[in-house]
Structure 1
Amino acid sequence: MTGDHLAIEVSRLTKRYGDVTAVHDLSFTVQPGVVTGFLGPNGAGKTTTMRMMTGLVSPTSGTATIGGLPYGQLARPSRTVGAVFDANAFHPGHTARDHLRVYAAMGGYPDSRVTTLLDLLGLAEAAHRRTRGFSTGMRQRLNLATALLGDPRVLLLDEPGNGLDPEGVSWLRGFLRQFADEGRTVLISSHALGEIQQLVDDVVVIRRGGLVAAGPCSRLAGPPAVLVTSPDADALAAVLTADPANGGTAPHVEAVGPDRLRVRGLDAPSIADLAAAHHVRVHELVVETPSLEELFLHLTTDKAVS
């Protein structure tokens, strides 16, 4: 391992269960210092892949390493990796404090760390309540507290926002952003694409166990479109497609209403300058960045990958 900045490297990872291939020849890298979203339809192989990263599932072939080492070779795994996979991994008779103390003792961490995490995760008032009475959101918080006992450099989170109220989701977003800003590594799977879009920097998208796309959201989404409102929409479309300063490649202009155009291939200032030069009225320019949901659907439908 090099320093405290630990990348996750997945190389040609494959997992078969009899005749069923859950993950196939999967390769990608999760970089430190950013939050990476791990996306795919149900059954795509996300949870299986994350479990292989932590040694809970043995790969049929390929490797998954953290800081250059397989999970089983890490000197103190819980100091390196915190993982949340199961929101119900609690003894129903234990209190929140009991649960954390058991795992703290297993990892060799002091009770003071338990108190710190109960405060950090907003569980101090529920510390002496039995986990059988916890809501889904409280279970998610306790799971995350368990993963953080060793103050790890890497977090692997499978659907951590399930059951959280808006305040909890906002807190989680801020916490993970700060965690990544400290140079740590975050891989988070989620189906709540609207929420995860506000959190992630990079995405890894898989389908049927194989890689579809990986990289920064901004690069995968492509250049934004510009929505233009103009009472002279037809005249403006003619001006934009006849632009001689466009390097020989005409922008794509689509009418989306009587007075509205969607323009790809020119940015908003260029559109405004051309309109002004040709005395064409423009009432509004809105930059449209594709949503993560649109990107996800584009990448994972049969048409997109056929």
Structure 2
Amino acid sequence: MASITADDAFVDRQRIEVSHLTKRYGTVAAVRDLSFTVEPGVVTGFLGPNGAGKTTTLRMLTGLVAPTSGTATIGGRPFGQLRRPSRTVGAMFDASAFHPGHTARDHLRVYAAMGGHPDSRVGDLLALLDLTEAADRRTHGFSTGMRQRLSLATALLGDPPVLLLDEPSNGLDPEGTLWLRGFLRRLADEGRTVLISSHVLSEMQQLVDDVVVIRRGELVAAGPWSRLAGSPAVLVTSPDADRLAAVLRGARPDGAPQVEDLGGGRLRVHGLDAPGIADLAASHRLRVHELVSDETSLEQLFLDLTADKAATP
């Protein structure tokens, strides 16, 4: 695949921008006043519970669903105004959208012809997606993982700088998941815009740079994953936990660390790293049996952001 240089002009052309996007079906609002931006050169996770509006948003981005109001653009243009859509955007929404009587090679040739792409792309992508041995097998016999690879190959026919992928790791075994992670990272490192919707949060945490989280069609958080996760806490186990907590709270009078007593001689400390805690404990002759980093997981952040809060009286 051709490498892409992420200069300023490229960034402007390939940025995804969703602005005050709303989609109503009668009285039901699937998406409500949604705004976010997806930048080239990073992998962005598009997250939300079932029914949050992720698929509807992706379909509005690709012109399959008309918004009630607002805009969804790629490089400043709605999908319908792109001159060569498949050379700009590769979309992977349905891993079962194959004619059961077609082989993988047949399928890719049909889509290559429809998009005006050279037939040579078919062989290149079969090799790239590790489908060469299955190229002449009919798709009705494909496993879920093979269907995912063929869907991704279809999205890449135009060598597009923008990829919209809905659940691309579904059905992949651990080896396939590891391969996909590396493959998508390489695409982003080339300067491509990669937006992924997925429910596999453990995998997303290892892959994404940025996240966009929606709930009931509305934005609840967007930005770099590292910023949203915040600094990790440190879990401390000490038989002198009470005295250590007092020392830690007094360590920085102008910005004392937050110390939470978990009971059983265990503390959760925000605002000091493990070496700092160990040094303070040693200087006060306090015993420490364990120091463990307690990083916020993407799953925990997701649950915190999307959980239904109990109504207050």
Q: TM-score range by the shorter chain?
A: over 0.9
Q: In structure 2, what is the equivalent of residue 12 of structure 1?
A: 20
Change (3 A) 1:132 1:303: same
Deviation string 1:127-164 (CA, Å, 9 cap, x unpaired) is 00110111111111000000000000010000111111
Paired residues in the alignment total: 304
Distance in 2 between residues matched to 1:105 and 1:302, nearest whole Å: 48
1:52 maps to what in 2? 60
* 1:65 aligned onto 2:73: yes
Query: Post-superposition shift, 1:33?
Result: 0.7
Deviation at 1:269, TM superposition (A): 2.7
- Match among 75, 88, 94 for residue 80 of structure 1: 88
Q: Is the CA contact 1:232–1:280 (under 8 Å) kept in the aligned structure 2?
A: yes
Q: CA deviation at 1:303?
A: 2.0
Q: Supply the AA of the counterpart residue of 2:305.
A: L
2:103 matches 1:95: yes
User: When the two structures are superposed, what TM-score results if normalisation uses the length of structure 2?
Assistant: 0.93
| 1:1-306 to 2 correspondences below 5 Å | 3-5=9-11, 6-243=14-251, 245-247=252-254, 249-303=255-309
Tell me, which stretches of 5 or more residues in structure 2 are unaligned?
Answer: 1-6
* Distance in 1 between residues matched to 2:9 and 2:250, nearest whole Å: 55
Q: Distance in 2 between matches of 1:109 and 1:264?
A: 54
Deviation digits for residues 102-143 of structure 1 (CA, Å, limit 9, x no counterpart): 001111112211001001111111000110111111111000
Residue 88 of structure 1 aligns to a residue in which SS?
coil
Deviations 1:46-76 (A, max 9, x none): 0000000010101011001111111111111
**Aligned partner letter, 2:134:** A
CA distance in 1, matches of 2:204, 2:227: 17
Provide the identity percentage. Answer: 78
1:142 maps to amino acid: L
SS of corresponding position for 2:21: strand
Q: Which amino acid aligns with 2:189?
A: D
Residue 4 of structure 1, CA deviation: 2.8
| CA distances 1:143-191 after superposition (whole Å, capped 9, x unpaired) | 0000000000010000111111111111110011010011110100001
**Is 8-17 or 254-263 further displaced after alignment?**
254-263
Structure 1 residue runs of 5 or longer lacking an equivalent are none
When the two chains are superposed, the root-mean-square deviation of aligned CA atoms in Å is 1.7
Which has the higher mean CA deviation after the structures are superposed, 254-263 or 18-27?
254-263
Checking the alignment, whether the CA contact within 8 Å between 1:14 and 1:62 is kept in structure 2 is: yes
